[in-house]
Amino acid sequence: MQTDPIADFLTRIRNGLRADHDEVVMPASTFKAELARILAEQGYIDSYEVESARVGRALRVKLKYTDNRRPVILGIERLSKPGRRQYVAAGEVPKVQGGMGTTILSTSRGVMTGHDARREGVGGELVARVW
């Protein structure tokens, strides 16, 4: 039984990069599509698309590599877990790698990066960090 679909999303991306795959496919949800949108906007993945599958919908994520075939994502980590949720106020949103990485938050105004959350003055649940 799968209890944390967001951790599964991040793990599939991590495993796909380690196995040198061009894309990964997983069951889709609106929240996963928002996470993929942020990863694409920040330049960590090439693209993503939600398509219909045999059962439900599937999320196809095209992974991004450098010219010498090294993954663009060096690390991706789940922060808030089902057994231990982590929330931060607007002024406490952490920076990743001194600002070189991205924190992803789920806020009352939707899913956004830590930079956007600090700029808009909103806090929320820490979902993941990417560098």
CB within 8 Å of 98: residues ≥ 6 apart: none
List the CATH code of the domain at 5-63.
Answer: 3.30.1370.30
64 CA to centre of own chain: 14
pTM, two decimal places = 0.92
Question: DSSP class of residue 85?
Answer: -
Query: How many angstroms separate the CA atoms of 26 and 57, rounded?
Result: 9
- Per residue of the chain (131 residues), give pLDDT as tens: 558 999 999 999 999 999 999 999 999 999 999 999 999 999 999 999 999 999 999 999 999 999 999 999 999 999 999 999 999 999 999 999 988 999 999 999 999 999 999 999 999 999 999 99
pLDDT at 1: 52
> Which tens digit of pLDDT belongs to each residue from 27-47?
999 999 999 999 999 999 999
Under CATH, which architecture does the 76-130 domain have? 2-Layer Sandwich (3.30)
pLDDT at 3: 83
Each domain of the chain, given as residue ranges in start order, spans: 5-63, 76-130
